[in-house]
Amino acid sequence: MGVVHRFIGSEGRFDWEGVQEKEGLDGPGVVGVSGKILVGPQEGAPNFRIRYFRIEPGGHSSLERHPHDHGVFVLHGRGLARMGENVFEVGPRDVVYVPGGELHQFSALDEPFGFLCVVPPKHNEVTDGKR
């Protein structure tokens, strides 16, 4: 059965019913990032994940590469999308495609930067039910 997570955010805050936030995501080189999985194992989605990330001003995700690709839709704020040796300034309603294997990083400029990111599931998420 399908699931609806209604938007319950307010000015400057993006929240959805029934979705838990992962505060202070950590990892090598991660600064000022929080996030949540909007569609994933808890909703029964076997083929993809929709995640929301918020990066605080001056913060950034890790500089990394993965075998899987990413589809990114910017919701709010302005940020930088590094892909390989190229850096692009992006803002609301911009769409970014990061191919598998490409070095990438997202960073916020002078305001909170929020985006949706669609990726395939990790093998252990399907069996472990991790978020």
The residue type of 80 is L
Q: Across the strands, what pairs with 60?
A: 31, 107
Residue type, 18: G
Q: Which of 25, 33, 50, 117 is catalytic?
A: 117
Give the Cβ contact number of residue 69 at 10 Å: 14
Tell me which DSSP letter residue 110 carries.
S
Among 51, 65, 53, 48, which residue's Cα sits nearest to residue 99? 65
Catalytic residue check, 42: no
Residues belonging to the active site = 117
